[in-house]
């Protein structure tokens, strides 16, 4: 006689647990989340902070800080070929090892770098260009759905950028302003300043975003019904 | 009533990256004009080609964009940083790099 009672208790516990789980998931999907962040980059130093809140309760907040030494090293590595190309010191070319021995050494290094990069990449594979093109319309509609489900309460961006070539800087500036006009962000405090003095990327970015997780999740599930998106995901994960 | 200030135009002379054409290196000198408000905000920019320096092995010559020959001194006066390019070309001629 005791056996059915235990089963009934187990059934009740399971029902209660699943109901609680559904309620928690529903609450998480329905309540509006607020993400606010600000970031500024001056030279190699990046500073900023972020805060995730829901119903005026802070869930997580932190600071974004870059390591100036690492950045400096990255800058100097990146700038090295440019310096050589500028030819401030031609003798330096021979010193650095642009001869045959140098090129062999560089080849070995590049192979090692490739292997390291592959290790770092893990299970994520580069998708085929054809399937990427096939999935592009579906991805664009997903992006549109995601953007519609996010509400920008505050957006301000001030960017000062420069490329190696003044003409390319001017062209890039034109592209950026075109994107702003296409997105209709006139009222937002967005400003791009071209810098014609060489490589440069400085600026400030601040945004406050409000979103209910329900709509992005719904958009993702809707997009997963598309065969092309599923195929692309399989290729990225390496199941195809 | 809001007052409308005159816009300032700032001109800069810059050199484009070298364009390779067979054994020649072409350096284009451009003028970059920036349209700035009173608050120093850039509201527009445009780039105009002015002259070209061609470095062809041992030969170096320049011409203005309207097709006129240009003495070397004149293009160096226009863009003094081209001197570095010329010095570098001379340096390359002297050191044979594999």
Size of interface A-B (CB pairs under 8 A): 56
Pick among A104, A196, A203 to test the B interface (most B CBs inside 10 A): A196
So what's the pLDDT on residue A223? 87
**Partners of A33 in the β-ladder:** A54, A211
Note the ipTM here: 0.74
Is A170 a residue whose pLDDT tops 70? yes
Judging contacts by C-beta atoms under 8 Å, the chain A residues touching residue B12 are 166, 196
Alpha helices in chain A (DSSP H): 2-30, 68-86, 90-96, 100-121, 129-149, 166-183, 214-224, 227-237
Q: Do B95 and A100 touch (CB under 8 A)?
A: no
Q: Do B42 and A193 touch (CB under 8 A)?
A: yes
Pick from A77, A45, A50: nearest CA to A63: A50
The pair phi, psi for residue B53, each rounded to 5°, is: -110, 130
> For the CA atoms of B64, B68, B74, B77, what is the dihedral angle to 10 degrees?
-20
Is B66 a residue whose pLDDT tops 70? yes
Q: Do A170 and B46 touch (CB under 8 A)?
A: yes
Q: In Å, how far from its chain's centre is CA A126?
A: 16
The percent of residues above 90 in pLDDT, for chain B, comes to: 11
Is residue B15 classed as helix, strand or coil in its secondary structure?
strand
Pick among A87, A88, A160 to test the B interface (most B CBs inside 10 A): A87
Q: Do B91 and A87 touch (CB under 8 A)?
A: yes
| B39 interface with A at CB cutoff 8 Å | no
* Model pTM above 0.80: no
Q: Do B88 and A194 touch (CB under 8 A)?
A: no
pLDDT, tens digit (0-9, with 9 covering 90-100), for A71-94:
444 444 444 444 444 444 433 443
| B37 interface with A at CB cutoff 8 Å | no
Q: Do A86 and B16 touch (CB under 8 A)?
A: no
The percent of residues above 70 in pLDDT, for chain A, comes to: 73
Q: Are B60 and B53 in contact (CB under 8 A)?
A: yes
So what's the pLDDT on residue A143? 85
| B30 interface with A at CB cutoff 8 Å | yes
So what's the pLDDT on residue A128? 77
Of A106-120, A141-155, A201-215, B78-92, where does mean pLDDT reach its minimum? A106-120
So what's the pLDDT on residue A86? 44
Give the whole-angstrom CA distance, residue B34 versus residue B9.
5
């Amino acid at each position: 006689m005791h056996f059915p009672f235990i089963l009934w208790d187990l059934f009740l516990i399971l029902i209660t647990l699943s109901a609680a789980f559904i309620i928690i998931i529903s609450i998480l999907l329905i309540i509006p989340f607020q993400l606010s962040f600000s970031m500024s980059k001056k030279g190699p130093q990046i500073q900023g902070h972020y805060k995730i809140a829901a119903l005026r309760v802070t869930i997580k907040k932190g600071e974004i800080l870059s390591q100036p030494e690492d950045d400096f090293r990255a800058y100097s590595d990146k700038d090295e070929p440019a310096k050589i190309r500028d030819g401030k010191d031609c003798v330096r070319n021979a010193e650095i090892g642009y001869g045959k021995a140098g090129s062999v050494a560089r080849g070995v290094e590049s192979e090692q770098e490739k292997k390291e990069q592959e290790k770092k990449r893990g299970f994520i594979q580069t998708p085929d260009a054809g399937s990427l093109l096939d999935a592009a319309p579906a991805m664009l509609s997903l992006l549109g759905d995601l953007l519609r489900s996010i509400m920008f309460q505050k957006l301000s961006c001030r960017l000062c950028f420069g490329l190696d070539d003044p003409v390319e800087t001017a062209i890039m500036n034109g592209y950026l302003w075109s994107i702003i006009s296409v997105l209709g962000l006139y009222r937002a405090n967005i400003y791009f300043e071209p810098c014609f003095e060489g490589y440069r990327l400085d600026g400030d970015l601040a945004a406050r975003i409000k979103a209910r997780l329900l709509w992005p999740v719904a958009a993702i599930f809707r997009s997963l019904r598309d065969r092309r998106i599923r195929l692309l995901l399989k290729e990225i994960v390496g199941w195809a | 009533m809001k007052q409308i200030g005159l816009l300032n135009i700032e001109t800069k002379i810059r050199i484009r990256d070298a364009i390779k054409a067979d054994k020649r290196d072409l350096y284009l000198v451009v003028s970059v004009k920036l349209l700035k408000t009173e608050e120093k905000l850039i509201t527009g920019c445009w780039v105009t080609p002015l002259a070209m320096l061609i470095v062809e092995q041992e030969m170096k010559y320049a011409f203005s964009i309207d097709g006129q020959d240009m003495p070397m001194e004149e293009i160096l006066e226009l863009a003094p940083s081209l001197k570095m390019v010329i010095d570098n070309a001379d340096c390359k001629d002297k050191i044979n790099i594999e």
